[in-house]
Structure 1
Amino acid sequence: MKVLWLVSITIPAAADACGLQAKEIGGGWLSGALGGMTAAPDAPAITVASVDARAETLTVCSKNGVSFALVPTGSVENFSALLKKIAPDLVHIWGTEYAAARTIQQAAQAAGIPVLVGIQGVMVDCALHLNDGVPARLLHSCAAQHLIDRHVPGGLLDVNQARFDTLAQSEAAVLANARHVTGRTSFDRSAVQKLAPQASYYPCNETLRPEFYTPPVWHPRTFGEAPVLLLSQGNYPLKNLHTVLKALPAVLAQYPGAVLRVAGWPPLDKGPLLRPVIDWMFPYQTWCKQLIRRLGLADHVQYTGPLDAAAMRQAYLDADLFLLPSYSENSPNSLGEAMLLGLPCVASAAGGIPDMLQSGVQGMLYGAAGDDAALSAAILQVLALPDHGTALGTAAQIRARVTHDAAKNTAQMIEIYRKVLQREGTL
């Protein structure tokens, strides 16, 4: 069996095989999935393809028994040439929202090759809740801002909303033409039933980055009045840094030395001359800075800068509590990673999160994502436990090791490949 994967980024193994520099931190779960697949004794032959403008022509490289394909543009012609060269029995599209997903789907269907579509986020829900909780005055930008943004991209919320709306439309187009879809949660299954009622749905959990399966794991520490809270991202409203900031004063009232660490860049600052323009072009970051000032949080919020897998793992181990207050998630990898390490977690009950942990047993869920009082109450409830959440973290780890078991998930995906080919009459 030969399977062609289409992924949205050029993963490090592909860049290495083809002599390119890895472009970004991210996509580690794809590397985890690939590692699990190549370790399986009955694994199909995998080719991992991505669109990468650094490849002037269709490029296929191999390393360690895996083939990688770089496609210069996401055109039907390029993907048709790729399919002809690889001649796969099945195309597995990882993610629904990027434009290349629909293009390779069209090319594969035209060539009579079965396609399996893998849900990652549910973009229609992300687009719906992208800017929840943000003041209306920040949601509209003017012609001058758009002009600047075309030359030096900023963080304009209406521009980002338009981008997410386009991603949601791309997702809808892919699912409308899908015959086979794989997902992980009751949340994404419900979305598939609405957007792809004609498709067969195959459940399969996700394998995460390999760094999170090995010791050491999290251990509680005596934090006294200074617990460390960790948020994995805060760059756009969907991830809900603003509600965490609003919840923090109630936490500080009981733990005056508490610190919130945010993985990622702090708000951009190029000095006093450019500061007004930057603040104008990054309204969400500017509003969060204002919240920090107004609430007296300057000494309690730390940005780590972007973290690779090893540094992110250490950030989990150095924290006392992981926070995931997002307005929309399907099966967030950050939550899975924290659970694998045994770190106690507080999360909103949004999207597919309740499928990942049971509140009060493997972590703590709170209701509406934007309810800062409910968030602070959940944080304080875990911090006040005699064991500081150790039992919750241990139970979470046990569950996550089942959910994210690489060998089990790989075997399940291989079985899904066989079922798709059988139903299509090609196996």
Structure 2
Amino acid sequence: MKVMWMGNIILPAIAEKESLPPVYIVGWLVGLSRRLTQLPDVALTYVFDAPKALTGEVDGYRYYGLVNPTRPTQRCGEAYTRQLEEILRKEQPDVIHLWGTENQHTLAMVDAAEHMGMRERIVISIQGLLSIYAEHYRAYLPEHVCHGRTLKDLVKGNIVRQEAIYRRVGQYEQEALRRVQHVIGRTDWDAACMAELAPQAAYHFNNETLRDEFYTGEWSLDNCEPHSLFCSQAHVPLKGLHLLLQALAIVRKRYPDVKLYVGRKDYGRIPPLARNAYERYIHRLLRENDLYDHVVFTGSLNAQQMKERYLKSQVFVLPSSIENSPNSLGEAMLLGVPCIASDVGGVRCLMTHSVEGLIYPADDPHLLAHDICEMFAHPEKAAQMARAGREHAGKTHDAQKNLEILHQIYTEIAR
């Protein structure tokens, strides 16, 4: 069975072979690709956008990197689509698996497959949904921040313009979903979205397999930093850092030694004149609440560094205004870290409130602060919930079971 993937990133093995910058995100595709290529009846090909044309073979699969000259808000041009058609003609895949809808190349592959008479072979995995996320882009933000007019806002686009980009690309997303016959999801939330956006498509359930590093190791209260929090991503307003900082200001009154570690984007390294309105707002919250000594921006972390940060933190917090099934929450639960998450998207499919962790309304930093203080004050109860969460996550993210289900889905599509 010939399986073709199309994804949003250059996989690390490809990046290393082609002497391209290392990749730290979407690492779960690495383990899944390795497991898939070990199956005797599967031949895998991976297609992705790249800074230069690439082709080759690595780790048991063939790859094609295509230069996509179109802007993110534009539909891919005919030349790009013809390249996809040529790859389809050469590889003749039985299944075309598109990972996510956040990039306009998803619709381009639907176009190419339709031209080649292969549209019925496509399956789209639902990650985030930009057309839905756009509705939440300004969530719980002051209007002056959304309509920022700093130099960076004017050049790169303020929050209102970024929301408009989500809506524009969301139109391509919705068109692609309307034209395929198969989708893969994993939460009640994405199933509800597909009932609206792709009612003609068969919905296949398959949980996510996480990065290999997170299947070993276990959190311990004795080995973590007391009164420490970890938020793994805060690079866009949707991730809710501004709300978490409001909660942190409240927690600090009760726990003066509290420390928050924030992954991925380092707001501290952005010079004042180079900040957009949201970045200025973050610094304003830090300054007015005297939080500079209580927040550490770690920058981008590889999987091992991320794992170490989880294990050293007393509580993991997910303060997003929208998510589907956040892998960061799954990773924390799989390691047995006490977790607090906002009640958005498919979070309740991953974690049961008051049994496996705490879930709070996304727009309520006061309740978030209360939940953090409760976990700090009652660490044994938090650890008990974390152990239950770890058991749940082990079932949700069972790599072998998820691989078997994915293979079944591929087999059904390839018939």
TM-score (norm. length: structure 1): 0.90
What is the rounded CA distance, in whole Å, between the counterparts of 1:383 and 1:146 in structure 2? 39
Offset, 1:97:
2.2
1:202 to 197, 201, 204: 204
Q: Does the 8 Å contact 2:207/2:402 carry over to 1?
A: yes
Partner of residue 325 from structure 2, selected from 328, 331, 335: 331
Among 386, 389, 394, the residue aligned to 2:387: 394
Aligned CA distance change for structure 1 residues 249 and 191 (closer, same or farther; 3 Å): same
1:360 to 1:164, Cα distance in 2 relative to 1, 3 A: same
SS state at 2:292 partner: coil
Q: 2:100 aligns with which of 95, 104, 112?
A: 95
Structure 1 residues 243, 144: closer, same or farther in 2, change over 3 A? Answer: closer
Given that residues 229 and 314 in structure 2 are in contact (C-alpha distance below 8 angstroms), is that contact kept between their aligned partners in structure 1?
yes
SS in 2 for 1:389: helix
Q: Shift in Å at residue 64 of structure 1?
A: 3.0
Q: How does 1:262-411 map to 2 (within 5 A)?
A: 262-267=262-267, 269=269, 275=272, 277-279=273-275, 282-367=276-361, 369-387=362-380, 389-411=382-404
Q: Tell me what 2:124 maps to.
A: 117
Moved more, 28-37 or 1-10: 28-37
Alignment match, 1:424: none
Indicate if the aligned counterparts of 2:34 and 2:59 stay in contact, CA closer than 8 A.
no
Structure 2 CA distance for partners of 1:85 and 1:312, relative to 1, 3 Å? same
> Residue 72 of structure 1 aligns to which amino acid in structure 2?
V
Asked if the contact 2:95–2:122 (Cα under 8 Å) also holds between the matched residues in 1, the reply is: yes
Structure 2 CA distance for aligned equivalents of residues 372 and 170 of structure 1: 35
Matched, 1:71 2:97: no
The SS at the match of 2:32 is helix
Q: 2: CA distance between counterparts of 1:311 and 1:255?
A: 26
Q: CA deviation at 1:158?
A: 2.2
How far 1:297 moved relative to its partner? 1.3
Deviation at 1:325, TM superposition (A): 1.1
Structure 1 residue 145, shift from structure 2 partner: 5.6
Q: Is 2:128 aligned against 1:135?
A: no
Per the alignment, residue 220 of structure 1 pairs with: 221
Residue 218 of structure 1 aligns to which amino acid in structure 2?
Answer: W
Give, in whole Å, the separation in 2 of the partners of 1:252 and 1:268.
20
Equivalent position amino acid for 1:204 in 2: N
Change (3 A) 1:89 1:388: same
Distance 2:287 2:218 in 1: 35
In the superposition, relative to structure 1, how do residues 348 and 54 fare at CA in structure 2: closer, same or farther (>3 Å)? Answer: same
Instruction: Measure the CA separation in 2 of the matches of 1:270 and 1:194.
Output: 41
- 2:171 matched to 1:177? no
Counterpart Cα distance in 2 of 1:401 and 1:107: 38
> What is the rounded CA distance, in whole Å, between the counterparts of 1:258 and 1:195 in structure 2?
43
Indicate the SS of the match to 2:140: coil
1:291 maps to a residue whose letter is: L
Q: Deviations over 1:265-307 (max 9, x none)?
A: 3326566xxx3x323xx11111011011111212111111111
SS in 2 for 1:299: helix
Q: Distance in 1 between matches of 2:316 and 2:41?
A: 35
Paired residue total: 403
The aligned residue for residue 73 of structure 2 is: none
Q: Pick which of 262-271 and 87-96 moved more.
A: 262-271
Amino acid at match of 2:106: A
Q: Which runs of 5+ in 1 are unaligned?
A: 422-426
Change (3 A) 1:318 1:268: closer
Specify the SS of the correspondent of 2:98: strand
Q: Distance in 1 between matches of 2:23 and 2:162?
A: 20
Q: Which amino acid aligns with 2:62?
A: S
Residue of 160, 184, 187 corresponding to 1:158: 160
Percent identity for Structure 1 against Structure 2: 34
Residue identity matched to 2:264: G
The CA distance in 2 between the partners of 1:259 and 1:306, in whole Å, is 18
Deviations 1:153-172 (Å, cap 9, x if unpaired)?
Answer: 4x622232122222322211
Which residue type is aligned with residue 35 of structure 2?
G
Q: What does residue 13 of structure 2 align with?
A: 13
In the TM superposition, residue 177 of structure 1 has moved relative to its aligned partner by 0.9
CA distance in 1, matches of 2:138, 2:381: 33
Instruction: Using the TM superposition, give the Cα deviation of residue 141 of structure 1 relative to its aligned residue in structure 2, in angstroms.
Output: 4.4
Q: Tell me the SS of whatever aligns to 2:147.
A: coil
Q: Match for 2:143: what amino acid?
A: A
Any conservation in 2 of the 1:268–1:278 contact (CA below 8 Å)?
A: no
- SS of residue in 2 equivalent to 1:304: strand
TM-score, with length taken from structure 2: 0.92
Structure 2 unpaired stretches of 5+: 69-75
Which is worse superposed, 377-386 or 179-188?
Answer: 377-386
Other-structure match for 2:71: none
- Residue 377 of structure 1 deviates from its aligned partner by 1.4
| 1:85 maps onto 2:97 in alignment | no
- Write the distance in 2 (CA, Å) between the matches of 1:236 and 1:122: 15
1:251 aligns with 2:251: yes
What is the CA distance between 1:10 and its match in structure 2? Answer: 1.0
2:72 equivalent in structure 1:
none
Q: Is the 8 A contact 2:149 2:277 kept in 1?
A: no
Runs of 4 or more above 3 Å deviation? 141-147, 268-271
